[in-house]
């Protein structure tokens, strides 16, 4: 990032005040200063280079006010660049489909974390569009946000816009607009995932890793069909066991017969009862078996069980660097591959009782296990994913036990190809996380992949999913 330093205290205060005077969402004024102060402090504590204060205040309001829209009329020497900023930056953020998800994620956080979340979101968006015109200012300027009243900052901002600060801000706004014009969607799923898990992500490196995992998973899944019909080549499915089936039959009342339990008696039969000790028509019909009863459809709702075990080898710990042609470290790509598999299988096999077990090796990849746990929260809470720490020696017995109750697949992922183990009644695939991965399918078929690393990873993901389905 290109960082410009303003070490002169007065110059830093002018830059800060002028930026707050350019707020386009809502009205600039004393309330803007009070509202933006915790956001600016949170941004300064995480990175030394700040975006223009007005940009941070505008995006913060878009994230905390559901109906917020740019409402200011652009006047003065910055009018042209501000109109472009309203259209290209604020307008695109306001209509982005993920903005509502970001709003919900921030609203669900404790109040103490919301300024941090807003600062983090703004940082992620500006990083994605490639904005690198950050400004490092004297810390005393931020401390003065509380020492002086909002009205004093408003007066100072109006004066600063007629001085050198206006030139600095005009260049920054023009660069920001150009960055947004060169970028597709400014908000990515990884930004939302980071906000949702902010309480558990204490370290900056963990936040970055989670965002990269979710974004990389979206990249690996791009182009896949929304629906995929499961293949019938797998025989011997196992029906799901229904809990309390005898006490709570699955089917509803479907017909009437002359046999059944008394609680299912057709209520109109009670009209045949008469008072007194004499035998009535109800007694006669009961003795002759002619009373009518509702009968249930006793058929069971059948789903196929399916268990998939993804085994991560300890050698993945050696892949913490980025190869030429790949957008992320290979360790990140492995986690993204697992998330992409889980996400697509949950969609394509939604009619099956699916369980994806991810087995991490003991002693290593602890941070990666935590990140993947957060990246798969939705499916873990639904019971579709289990993340465990398992020794390699325990895998064959576990998979063999799974195979006795459901069709079972195993995917071995490591830095090198994994030899096929003799585990009966299982499908096994090996994924070697090389720059151009080596993938062998369940029939020991080695796939030919493109030479370009990133395209090869996407194609390998598609082939693995095709085999699993």
Tell me what the mean pLDDT of segment 100-111 comes to: 90
Query: pLDDT at residue 175 above 60?
Result: yes
Looking at residue 71, what is its pLDDT? 67
- Report how far residue 47's alpha carbon sits from residue 13's, in angstroms, rounded to the nearest whole number: 18
Provide, rounded to the nearest whole percent, the portion of the chain with pLDDT above 70.
90
Structure tokens at 93: 């953020």
* pLDDT tens digit sequence for 409-418: 899 999 998 8
Query: pLDDT at residue 218 above 50?
Result: yes
Average pLDDT taken over every residue of the chain: 84
The full set of domain ranges for the chain reads 2-200, 228-233+304-468, 253-296
Nearest to 302 by CA among 230, 229, 347, 352: 352
CA atoms within 13 A on the CB side of 409: 22
pLDDT band for position 241 (50/70/90)? very low
Query: pLDDT at residue 1 above 70?
Result: no
Provide, rounded to the nearest whole percent, the portion of the chain with pLDDT above 90.
21
- Report how far residue 231's alpha carbon sits from residue 228's, in angstroms, rounded to the nearest whole number: 9
Tell me what the mean pLDDT of segment 254-275 comes to: 87
Beta strands in 338-377 (DSSP E): 353-360
Contact indicator for 332, 360 with CB cutoff of 8 Å = no
* pLDDT tens digit sequence for 48-102: 788 888 899 999 999 888 777 766 666 566 788 888 898 899 989 988 889 899 9
Query: pLDDT at residue 20 above 90?
Result: no
Query: pLDDT at residue 348 above 80?
Result: yes
pLDDT band for position 45 (50/70/90)? confident
Give per-residue burial for 51-89: e unless 16+ CB within 10 Å, then b.
Answer: bbbbbbbbbbbbbbeeebebeeebeeebeebbebbbebb
pTM reported for the whole predicted model: 0.70
Query: pLDDT at residue 213 above 70?
Result: yes
């Amino acid at each position: 990032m290109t960082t410009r330093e303003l070490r002169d205290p007065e110059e830093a205060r002018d830059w800060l005040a002028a930026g707050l005077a350019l707020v386009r969402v809502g009205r600039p004024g004393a309330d803007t200063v009070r509202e933006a102060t915790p956001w600016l402090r949170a941004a300064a504590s995480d990175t030394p280079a700040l975006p223009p204060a007005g940009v941070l205040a505008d995006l913060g309001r878009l994230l905390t006010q559901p109906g917020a829209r740019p409402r200011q009329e652009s006047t003065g020497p910055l009018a042209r660049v501000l109109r472009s900023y309203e259209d290209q930056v604020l307008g695109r953020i306001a209509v982005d489909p993920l903005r509502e998800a970001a709003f919900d994620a921030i609203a669900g956080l404790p109040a103490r974390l919301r300024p941090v979340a807003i600062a983090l979101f703004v940082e992620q968006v500006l990083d994605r569009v490639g904005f690198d015109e950050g400004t490092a200012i004297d810390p005393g300027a931020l401390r003065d946000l509380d020492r002086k009243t909002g009205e004093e900052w408003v007066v100072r901002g109006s004066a600063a816009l007629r001085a050198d600060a206006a030139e600095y801000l005009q260049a920054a706004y023009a660069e920001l607009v150009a960055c947004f014009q060169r970028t597709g969607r400014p908000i990515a799923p990884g930004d939302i995932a980071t906000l949702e898990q902010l309480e558990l992500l204490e370290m900056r490196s963990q936040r970055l890793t989670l965002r990269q995992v979710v974004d990389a998973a979206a990249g690996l899944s791009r182009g896949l069909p929304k629906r995929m019909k499961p293949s019938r080549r797998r025989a011997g499915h196992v029906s799901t066991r229904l809990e309390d089936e005898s006490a709570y039959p699955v089917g509803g009342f479907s017909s009437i017969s002359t046999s059944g339990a008394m609680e299912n008696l057709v209520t109109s039969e009670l009209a045949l009862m008469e008072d007194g000790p004499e035998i009535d028509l109800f007694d006669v019909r009961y003795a002759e078996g002619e009373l009518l009863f509702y009968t249930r459809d006793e058929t069971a709702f059948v789903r196929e069980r399916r268990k998939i075990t993804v085994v991560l080898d300890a050698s993945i710990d050696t892949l913490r660097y980025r190869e030429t042609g790949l957008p992320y470290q290979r360790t990140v790509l492995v986690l993204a591959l697992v998330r992409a598999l889980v996400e697509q299988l949950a969609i394509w096999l939604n009619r099956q009782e699916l369980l994806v077990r991810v087995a991490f090796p003991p002693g290593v990849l602890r941070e990666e296990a935590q990140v993947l746990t957060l990246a798969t929260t939705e499916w873990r809470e639904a019971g579709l994913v289990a993340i465990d720490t398992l020794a390699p020696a325990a895998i064959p017995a576990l998979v063999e036990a799974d195979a006795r109750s459901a069709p079972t697949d195993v995917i071995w992922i490591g830095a090198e190809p994994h030899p096929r183990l003799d585990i009966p009644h299982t499908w096994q695939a090996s994924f070697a996380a090389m720059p151009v991965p080596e993938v062998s399918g369940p029939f020991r078929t080695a796939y030919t992949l493109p030479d370009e690393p990133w395209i090869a990873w996407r194609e390998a993901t598609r082939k693995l999913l095709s085999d699993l389905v």
